[in-house]
Structure 1
Amino acid sequence: MTAETRLSNDAAPKMTARDVSVYYGAKKAIDCVSIDVSQEHVTAFIGPSGCGKSTFLRTLNRMNDTIANARVDGAIELDGENIYAPSMDVVQLRARVGMVFQKPNPFPKSIYENVAYGPRIHGLAAGRSEMDAIVEQSLKRAGLWEEVKDRLQESGTALSGGQQQRLCIARAIAVEPEVILMDEPCSALDPIATAKIEELIHELRGRYAIVIVTHNMQQAARVSQRTAFFHLGNLVEYGETSEIFTNPRVERTKDYITGRYG
């Protein structure tokens, strides 16, 4: 099925997906999805539970590789480079395309070591002073520095849920990714922590291409400029967020947004 797509003339996309299908064994979870992801805009994936939005998100940094019976057909490119090519270094890909998960998952290490882990593995710091600078800058970008600067050696797991999620975002951006994928990053958080994450997404917009999966339509309306509606493994409609929410062209989109199902 071809999605209804309507966008103004955007700059060259950061990532492109063309005719992407995902299978778990014989079951087709995603059916022939094509979409562009822009650096300039936050893109939200919405749809009812089980519609395929998180499955498709995971194709963008090959997280489905970790599932034994998963198979991905079609083409996905990052800056014109096929991320499923045999020559693609998956470790480097996941540094370029970072992931923030639904449930905060800090390492059982200090706050400092949580952020320093990726830069250390990828050799991004020549010494302690450079690493200190990366950790500080990453925590500042994640809006967490002022809250933790005097407790960097405490365990990351001792932070509140919202702080843990911002620590995970700091950990993701410490390796200077180009794309950040967020899989329902606020679903386990209270409203105050959620507001901080949403504010952070606004601040990070433009520095990184950001894709967020959310079951919260109000959140999608608040944080994104582009929205893709998924249903039963299909991309039904994709366009400017304001248009999708006020003037959807496909009846299924309208029914979902108006609460007739979900």
Structure 2
Amino acid sequence: MTETSLNDRADKQQAAHGGTLKMTARDVDVFYGTKQAIKNVSIDVTQENVTAFIGPSGCGKSTFLRTLNRMNDTVASARVTGDITLDGKDIYGADMDVVQLRARVGMVFQKPNPFPKSIYENVAYGPRIHGLASAKPDMDAIVEKSLRRAGLWEEVKDRLTDSGTALSGGQQQRLCIARAIAVDPEVILMDEPCSALDPIATAKIEELIHELRGRYAIVIVTHNMQQAARVSQKTAFFHLGTLVEYGDTSDIFTNPRQTRTKDYITGRYG
């Protein structure tokens, strides 16, 4: 195939997905022992869009999110089948370095979980273990850049030696985002990052997601449909372990194709 044909094909693929394809999942099933938690899910994650996973509690959205950087590997009874790729490479392949995968595909959890270390060391930890800085000035630059991108630098620049656990809940969550950013990831997964935060802190996290959009591919699980509508461009609706509908956020919320989606959006269950 000629270079022109390859470029045309890439352009068509990009147009079809509304952006540059970053991760794909095809026919993914997740089992915990004999119980099937995810059934035959296929989805695309693009670079330019924030993708939101919505659905009632226990629908599988967080379980599926965890498959995207192999966090389910930490559960002894978990088994994942199907294909998940990052830049076209199978993340469950035998040659995939899981440590490197989790650096490329970072995770921010529901409850802020800063290390019991200083603010500086929270951010420096990842770059240090991955050898991203050879000297202290290099590390200082990474820490400052990461805290700036997380919208936290101006609030903490004069107390970098204070414990990260001494920050407010919203600041702790932004510190965790800075920690994820510090290893220069390509994808950021957020598992209900605002559920433990007050409205003011939530607004700051949502503003941060807008600012990070495009720099990283972002996937967010949220129980808050209004939040999904505010921050995402693509939305996937999960129910009973299946992906019911996936498309543009505006379409999902104003003109859903599936009755189950419409019933959930209009509050008939959930």
TM range (shorter): over 0.9
Counterpart mapping for 1:91-102 below 5 A: 91-102=99-110
Match of 2:229 in 1: 221
Q: Does 1:175 find its partner at 2:168?
A: no
Identity of aligned residues (%): 84
TM-score by length of 2: 0.94
Match of 2:239 in 1: 231
- Structure with the greater relative contact order (CA < 8 A, sep ≥ 6): 1 or 2? 1
TM-score by length of 1: 0.97
Match of 2:30 in 1: 22
Structure 1 stretches of 4+ moved >3 Å: none
For structure 1, the 5+ residue unaligned runs are 1-6
Q: CA deviation at 1:12?
A: 3.7
> How big is the alpha-carbon RMSD for the aligned residues of Structure 1 and Structure 2?
0.8
Q: CA deviation at 1:10?
A: 2.4
Query: In 2, distance between residues paired with 1:9 and 1:246?
Result: 20
Match of 1:62 in 2: 70
Query: In 2, distance between residues paired with 1:199 and 1:218?
Result: 14
Query: In 2, distance between residues paired with 1:254 and 1:84?
Result: 34
2:233 maps to a residue whose letter is Q
2:221 maps to a residue whose letter is V
Query: In 2, distance between residues paired with 1:218 and 1:11?
Result: 23
Q: CA deviation at 1:9?
A: 4.5
For structure 2, the 5+ residue unaligned runs are 1-14
Match of 1:77 in 2: 85
Query: In 2, distance between residues paired with 1:10 and 1:136?
Result: 33
* 3-state SS of paired residue (1:114): helix
Structure with the largest fraction of helix? 2
1:160 maps to a residue whose letter is S
Match of 2:198 in 1: 190
Match of 1:4 in 2: none
Match of 2:170 in 1: 162
2:171 maps to a residue whose letter is Q
1:193 maps to a residue whose letter is A
- Give the length in aligned residue pairs: 256
Aligned pair partner of 1:142 in 138, 141, 150 = 150
Q: Does 1:258 find its partner at 2:266?
A: yes
Query: In 2, distance between residues paired with 1:65 and 1:9?
Result: 29
Query: In 1, distance between residues paired with 2:260 and 2:185?
Result: 35
Q: What CA deviation, in whole Å up to 9, does each residue of 1:118-154 have, x standing for no partner?
A: 0000000010000000000000000000000000000
